A and B are shown apart, each in its own frame.
Chain A
Amino acid sequence: MSTHQFNLNLLNGFALRQGAKPVPTPSTAKRVLAYLAVHGPSSRAVVAGELWPEVTEGRADGSLRSTLWRLGRRSHDLVRCHADVLSLGEPVEVDVDELDRAARAVLDGEPIGAAGQAVVLRGGDLLPDWAEQWVVIERERLRQLRLHALDALAEQLCARGGYPEALAAAMQAVDVEPLRESGHRALIMIYLASGSPGHALDHYESYRTMLRTVLGLEPSARMRTLLSRGVRDTPDVRAADPG
């Protein structure tokens, strides 16, 4: 059972393992596996055309065939070919799928448990060194999906009173994209909800300074409202003016 199980990791770089053993993978095979992992079942013609765009269709299909052949005995477990459609084999677990599933579940408001939370928190960049257009678009899709999942997770956890976990999620969002306001708003919301308006003010000030310095911009009206409401409702810091 476990010997037939493959793990294909595309987050923070390519890695293919069978059980605990790394599987040596030629670079063309890496591209085929990554393409199928990201796009799901795809016709041979599309895969060949996308991965070998510079050559004739016949040559491209030949390259695809020899790539699959060089994966050897394992190729039947790794790649299925059905009619003229290629897909990853059943025994291949892909880390991107795991992140996708967990992130979507958060967005749908479904409970994901500690394991799912860990997946969203860990995240990772899709194949960071690959420059192909399809990877660039997919990387950005995944980054946006994770950012929004982190926003939603922070809000859900905060509403349940799980402040430390909520903070971890919001901090990850800020870490991925330091200038993006949603993450900072989430942090401020959590500080306010957990009874630390001083932290909220400090954080607002440091975000404002960064935004001014880097882009010459001001935080949004939404953020100022969030802060002034939150601080007003907390009597002992009423003196502090957010902005």
Chain B
Amino acid sequence: MSERPSLVLLDGFALSVRGQHVELARSLQRLLAYVALHRAPSRLRTAAALWPDPQAERSLSRLRTALWRTSRLAVPVLVAEGERLRLAPQVRLDLDQLTKGREQRLAALVRRRHELLPGWYEDWVLERRQHTKLLYLRALERAAERELRQARYGRAVEATMAALRTEPLRETPHRLLIEIHLAEGNYTEALAAYQSYQRLLREELGIGPAPHVQQLVRRPPR
């Protein structure tokens, strides 16, 4: 079990230390999430976003209280450096796995929804949620392309299906799915995938697939 605290923002907030879940008041959850999602925000900006009040001093005072309560946790999770707040360096943030370091294992990528803080409606969360969704979709599409290049078609299909579950109308996974079927020599499956994409677009948006997607199934490969 890792000694490092782990902060989870995808599919619900969770903080755990040595494998133990740490119960946190909602105000502390918001503080940790805000700092994690913004690059070393200033105290002033954090206080204004989390505790809006015409009197800045009142917001700052609530921030100080929250920081003090955070400092009483068993391990440090936040550090204040002068005017700036950041996560303590040993905190592992799940979001980082979408952007940093080695490619995630496909199974871990497809199993969860990867939705940022579902059920939170603050503006600063909504903005980031959309961004996170895009990062997730790109990670899946990269994985699909990688598996397709290595002729591992089953896994490539899995990655594209996870992308479609997240964003049913997005073109890239539909196109990839068609390309995977073609690469396998399954023209009829490619055609079926194209037709279901075509139907979906017509029903939802009243448009047809882009020419470069049409091109893929125009005629059976010789």
Contact = CB atoms under 8 A, between A and B. Distances in A.
Interface of A: 39-46, 82-85, 103-104, 107, 133-134, 137-138, 140-141, 144-145, 148-149, 151-152, 177, 179-182, 185, 211, 215, 217-218, 220-223
Q: Which 8 A-B pairs have the closest CB atoms?
A: A45-B119, A148-B154, A141-B161, A85-B12, A43-B118, A43-B12, A179-B188, A222-B185
Contacts of B12: 41-43, 83-85
Interface of B: 11-14, 21, 23, 107, 111-113, 115, 118-119, 152-155, 157-158, 161-162, 164-165, 168, 184-189, 191, 220-222
Given A43-B12, A46-B113, A107-B152, A148 B157 contact: yes
Contacts of A180: 186, 188-189
A85 B115 CA distance: 12
A141 B115 contact: no
Contact of B161 (A44, A133, A144): A144
16 contacts: A43-B12, A46-B113, A85-B12, A134-B165, A137-B165, A138-B165, A140-B161, A144-B157, A144-B158, A145-B158, A182-B184, A211-B188, A215-B191, A217-B220, A220-B187, A222-B185
- Main secondary structure, interface of A, reads helix
Nearest to A149: B154
B39 to A, nearest CB: 26
Contact of A43 (B119, B153, B155, B220): B119
A46 to B, nearest CB: 5
Contacts, number: 96
A217 B12 CA distance: 49
Contacts of A138: 165
Given A180-B188, A185-B185, A217-B220, 18 more contacts: A41-B12, A42-B113, A43-B11, A45-B119, A46-B119, A82-B21, A83-B21, A84-B12, A103-B154, A141-B157, A144-B154, A145-B157, A148-B154, A181-B186, A181-B188, A215-B188, A217-B187, A220-B187
